Structure 1
């Protein structure tokens, strides 16, 4: 009740300096301030005063009903409160929603249609809830696994290309100049530049520097969902970039030979084993400078 009274007095400029300071310090003040700003600028159409007066005089006289001032304040405060709730709801639906997974983290969340998304480390997704069922579109930076509920077209936009489905399970990875898509169920349409390709269950494709690499998939979901990092003909720089994301560490590479391609798996939960595999494969020596920095030197 005190909050409503302060709101009503504020709307009528009746607050004392002390009460005004207290009201402006409340957490909802900025919201009320915005609402007051817009309501103060509302306009009504022009009207004929003489016609209005004549019409009033012709009406039968009735005893006026007196509404106490505090009730007017309460009505106005209630109207402002309802309007505030409406604006808050609209903003929540219209404002871009963002989901992130930091380095060394994975984030699981559901979209408005109950489609499930798992974000891999160092990734971000943005989307809008408004009219989602008719416009299922989101933007991805990094890598994510999708279990899409059946419905209208579902689009995943990245800076390298677009993936379109109706209802399926698939993985999308867009890192630097590499665009990698795998279909685990249903069908997936991939657009990369002027190239369009249709993937079905067990098929994958990667575009890197304009080159297309097709492959077959034997697993039922991405290996990173089971704490493994899978690589297919990737260079050591791409490999180390992914290791840095998964373990939230910094890696420095001191070698001239970076052309050899790696196909295989690394654990995403055992750094010592991962470093040993990399060292053995590339004939390197790993030095742990700190808990968050590794240096690879040539042997």
Structure 2
């Protein structure tokens, strides 16, 4: 009980709540000197300052790490998907823009089929370009030279040349565009021919020729182009045009050392016998062969 009372008196003294009489009584106790020393040392003690910066740093250091977020472009699967999209785009680009090319070199003929099974035969020194992709909706091709077409029935078809355009629907026809001369022959069905501002529709057994201002229409009896069976048919053509065609068919070089000849030739020449072909040309145009070595030939006036 006594200990409790002493603690109560000490608390009142420290708090400064004793009366004057109580203080005198307390000071006369044997423990008072000890209490004074404790109070002096206690007053010199100082609680540490509250360091907010240190607390913040400590909190940051020990807090849980935030979940790692992988950016879209760093994800493995996202990169794979992106590469796939790029490759798909490139594939579509090439399929829609790249053209297929068929070439018949001089001295050769080439046959091939279009995506709809239409058949084409290219004559010597000719070339065709077209797009295989989406062919059914873009049935057009570009021709340089001469070609024979057997178009699948019921299929619209367009042939573009530097001289004119031919539009058909399920037919067989031949197109020849050389220099300024444009020849179109229909062997089955009918075709529409556009040359400059002129439009002509021809049917089976009809052939038309455009040469600058010259226009000619004639009937034919052949069932297919003669050049497909090793013959060339000329219709009122100049010497230079005939020589050009012989060079293509025989893959040779023919030089004309003669005066200008305005005579026109209509007839047939073989494409598998150069001696016979040159013999006919020399006879008609009054020429002779002055040199015939390998693939080089020189024709001069007789």
User: Do they fold alike, i.e. is TM over 0.5?
Assistant: yes
CA shift, 1:93, in A, is 4.4
Between 1:130-139 and 1:283-292, the stretch displaced more is 283-292
| Rg larger in structure | 2
After superposition, residues 72-83 of structure 1 pair within 5 angstroms as 80=83
Among 149, 152, 162, the residue aligned to 1:149: 152
Question: 2-side partners of 1:193 and 1:90: how far apart?
Answer: 34
Paired position in structure 1 for 2:287: 284
CA shift, 1:201, in A, is 0.5
SS across alignment from 1:246: helix
Give the TM-score normalised by structure 1: 0.71
Paired position in structure 1 for 2:120: 117
SS across alignment from 2:221: coil
CA shift, 1:244, in A, is 0.5
Paired position in structure 2 for 1:186: 189
SS across alignment from 1:121: coil
CA shift, 1:78, in A, is 8.4
Indicate whether 1:208 and 2:208 are aligned: no
CA shift, 1:130, in A, is 2.5
Paired position in structure 1 for 2:135: 132
Question: 2-side partners of 1:228 and 1:171: how far apart?
Answer: 14
Question: 2-side partners of 1:109 and 1:84: how far apart?
Answer: 30
Pair 1:106–1:74, CA change in 2 (3 A): farther
Question: 1-side partners of 2:270 and 2:155: how far apart?
Answer: 37
Indicate whether 1:217 and 2:234 are aligned: no
Paired position in structure 2 for 1:160: 163
Question: 2-side partners of 1:111 and 1:208: how far apart?
Answer: 30
Paired position in structure 1 for 2:107: 104
Question: 1-side partners of 2:193 and 2:90: how far apart?
Answer: 38
Paired position in structure 2 for 1:249: 252
Question: 1-side partners of 2:77 and 2:279: how far apart?
Answer: 71
Pair 1:112–1:86, CA change in 2 (3 A): farther
Task: List, as ranges, runs of 4+ consecutive aligned residues in structure 1 with deviation greater than 4 Å.
Answer: 72-79
CA shift, 1:194, in A, is 1.4
Question: 2-side partners of 1:243 and 1:199: how far apart?
Answer: 28
